[in-house]
Amino acid sequence: MATAREPRARKLSIVFGAYFLVVIGAAFFLSAPAAVYVDPGATRWICAAYVLLGGLLLVGVCLGAVRRWTRLDGRVGELEDAGREAMRVPQADVPKRSPNENLPAGLPSDRDVERLLTELHAIGEAAATGNPLEEPEAQRGPAVEAAELRDARTREMRRLRKVRDAVAATAAGPALGSAVLLGVFTALLPSSDGMLIANLQLNAFVGLAGLGGLVGLVAYAGAAFRQLGRRAA
% residues pLDDT > 90 (the chain): 27
Q: What is the reported pLDDT for 57? A: 95
Quick check: is 123 in a domain? Answer: no
Alpha helices for the chain (secondary structure H): 9-34, 43-87, 110-129, 142-188, 195-198, 200-232
* DSSP-derived secondary structure letter, 89: -
Number of domains in the chain: 1
Q: What is the pLDDT of residues 158-182, one digit of tens each?
A: 888 888 888 988 899 999 999 999 9
Quick check: is 61 in a domain? Answer: yes
More confident residue, 104 or 152: 152
Q: Is residue 74 scored above 60 in pLDDT?
A: yes
Are the C-beta atoms of 229 and 211 separated by less than 8 Å?
Answer: no
Quick check: is 145 in a domain? Answer: yes
Average pLDDT, stretch 15-37?
91
| Domain boundaries, position 216 | 9-91+141-232
Identify the CA nearest to 177 among candidates 60, 72, 94. Answer: 60
Quick check: is 100 in a domain? Answer: no
